Amino acid sequence: MGPCARCAHFRRVRPASQLLAATLGTIEGGAEVANALAKIVEDEQKLREAEADVKSKEGSADRNLWMTRPMMSEYCGLQENEEIYLICEVKNRGLQCKDFLDGRPEYRACKSCRHHVTSEGRASDHAVEKTYTQMIIGAIAAQASTQTPQSLLQSYRGGIAARKALEIAGAYAAKGRVLAKPQYLDYCAHFSTQDEYVVCVLQNPHNTCPAWQNEAQKAES
């Protein structure tokens, strides 16, 4: 028995805003992505307060169950494989939890999983920008005007930031389950379907996914 923070089942708060920022970054996405993340941070603050209220009420009634996986509160992941999320403070009241397991959970990051699908947006953007750049170089070599290809390049680059911001906002609003294939956020082939894509960073925020399989198994299959 011991404090939750030392237990392998303990799941710390990992805000979606920080996870998404780490995936795309405000520098890469510019002001539009930064603004999208700022709005998510504002929503997360409200969510934190709402979850604190729920935890207080459930604790007073000696109930230890979150109705859904909390976004802005720590929780016990003992039964998370069954989509059951427990309130730490109630589950381990008086440090008497019989399920305490000293240590850390097995590290199951999406990028090392056979189900991980890398988004294609960056590679596609690079190819388009390369084409426009070659057009500019060709125009210079031919001593022609570069105005059109330069305008096309600037316009395309401006659109990238908008697309990233929209994808971030959409993924957060849909709790990581989006209808269109993500262009900049990696997704999971195991949990996704033909008409729904599950964003890795929001599905597996603690790197503890029960469906994780190492990349070697991809080659074997």
Look at residue 28 in the predicted model and tell me its pLDDT.
61
At residue 54 the predicted structure's pLDDT band, cuts being 50, 70 and 90, is: very high
- pTM metric for this prediction: 0.84
pLDDT at 102 over 90: yes
The pLDDT value given to residue 196: 97
What is the overall mean pLDDT for the chain? 92
Decide: 86 and 78 in contact? Cβ < 8 Å.
yes
Q: The dihedral of CA 91, 93, 99, 103: what is its sign?
A: positive
Considering only CA atoms, which of 82, 110, 79 is closest in space to residue 192?
Answer: 110
The band of 25, judged by pLDDT with boundaries at 50, 70 and 90, is: low
> What is the per-residue pLDDT for 136?
93
**pLDDT digit string (tens) for 1-14?**
889 999 999 999 99
pLDDT given at position 217: 60
Asked if 72 and 53 touch (Cβ cutoff 8 Å), the reply is: no
Q: Which is nearest to 77 in space by CA: 67, 87, 90?
A: 87
Residue, of 106 and 218, whose pLDDT is higher: 106
pLDDT for res 166: 93
- pLDDT at position 100, please? 95
Question: Side-chain half-sphere of 148: how many Cα atoms within 13 Å?
Answer: 6
Q: Answer whether residue 26 shows pLDDT above 80.
A: no
Share of the chain above pLDDT 90, in %: 81
Does residue 220 have a pLDDT over 60?
no
Q: What would you report as the CA-atom Rg of the chain, rounded to the nearest whole angstrom?
A: 22
Residue 103: name the closest of 4, 208, 207, 209 by CA: 4
Summarize pLDDT for 56-65 with one digit per residue, the tens. Answer: 999 999 999 9
Taking 70 as the threshold, does the pLDDT of residue 45 lie above it? Answer: yes
Yes or no: say if 186 and 199 are a contact pair by the CB < 8 Å rule. yes
Beta bridge partners of 85: 66
Structure tokens at 101: 């397991």
Q: What's the rounded mean pLDDT across residues 96-117?
A: 94
150 closest CA partner among 124, 173, 132: 132
Assess whether pLDDT exceeds 60 at residue 219. no
